[in-house]
């Protein structure tokens, strides 16, 4: 790993370097917010083995415009499969959710098992949604495969975000396992289920009680 002080021009040079595979940006240490990690390009000869996940962990905010701008910019450089915006109880929890696992000491057993299943489903995540989030970004390939959207209550909003669609299913960002969010969106989640990685924990029959 090569560490450099952040400068916009340096960032552009690293991103354009054909030998650069990953890009991380953090405040002062890898566990400090904000923290950005992106998959730039596959290792030649190992394209079928790459986990192409990226994520941003940042302090809680109601202004998600910079994050949506980042997604739009990434979409101009490479096709996006899916993404999600949510709010978590801690930076460690957010990092675990972004990258499908982490330090199990930071997680309860149920969450650890769910994120382990996410990590084991990384191949399916290359063509499927992970799950419904308060704000879910759906890539063009998945959107084309979705059947016509029925009428839901509450009704999600759908907006264009570059080549993707931004589906907003909740008025505020929250944990995607928040019981109120899950209950209110059971029908929407069931409709999306065949187009997700189908982590058993996300099935409507396995919702937490609360």
Instruction: Please list the pLDDT of the chain residue by residue as tens digits (210 residues).
Output: 677 777 888 888 888 888 888 888 888 765 567 788 888 788 888 878 778 888 889 888 889 999 999 899 888 888 899 999 999 998 888 888 887 665 556 788 889 899 999 989 989 999 999 999 999 999 999 999 999 999 999 999 999 999 999 999 999 999 999 999 999 999 999 999 999 999 999 999 999 876
With respect to residue 184, please indicate whether it lies within any of the assigned structural domains. Answer: yes
In a domain, 36, yes or no: no
- Helix, strand or coil for residue 55? strand
Instruction: Please return the burial class of 125, using the count of CB atoms within 10 Å of its CB with bins 0-12, 13-18 and 19+.
Output: buried
Helices and strands per DSSP (H, E), number in the chain = 7, 7
- Does residue 106 belong to any structural domain of this protein? yes
In a domain, 32, yes or no: no
Could you tell me the residue range of the domain that residue 167 belongs to? 60-206
Flag whether 41 is in a domain: no
149 domain-assigned: yes
* Domain assignment present for 111: yes
pTM reported for the whole predicted model: 0.89
Look at the chain and report how many structural domains it folds into.
1
Report yes or no on 167 lying in a domain: yes
């Amino acid at each position: 790993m090569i560490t450099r002080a952040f400068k916009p021009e340096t960032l552009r040079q690293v991103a354009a370097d054909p030998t650069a595979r990953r890009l991380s940006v953090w405040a002062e240490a890898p566990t400090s917010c904000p923290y950005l990690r992106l998959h730039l390009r596959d290792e030649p000869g190992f394209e079928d083995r790459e986990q192409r996940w990226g994520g941003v962990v940042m302090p809680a905010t109601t202004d998600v415009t910079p994050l949506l701008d980042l997604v739009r910019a990434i979409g101009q450089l490479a096709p996006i499969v899916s993404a999600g915006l949510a709010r978590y109880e801690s930076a460690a929890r957010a990092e675990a959710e972004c990258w499908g696992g982490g330090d199990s000491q930071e997680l309860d057993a149920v969450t650890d098992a769910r994120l382990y299943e996410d990590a084991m489903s990384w191949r399916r995540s290359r063509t499927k949604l992970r799950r419904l989030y308060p704000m879910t970004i759906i890539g063009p390939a998945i959107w084309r495969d979705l059947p016509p959207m029925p009428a839901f209550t509450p009704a999600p909003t759908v907006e264009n975000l570059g080549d993707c669609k931004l589906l907003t299913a909740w008025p505020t960002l929250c944990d995607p396992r928040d019981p109120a969010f899950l209950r209110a969106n059971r029908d929407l989640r069931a409709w999306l289920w065949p187009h997700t990685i189908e982590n058993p924990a996300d099935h409507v029959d396995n919702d937490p009680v609360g």
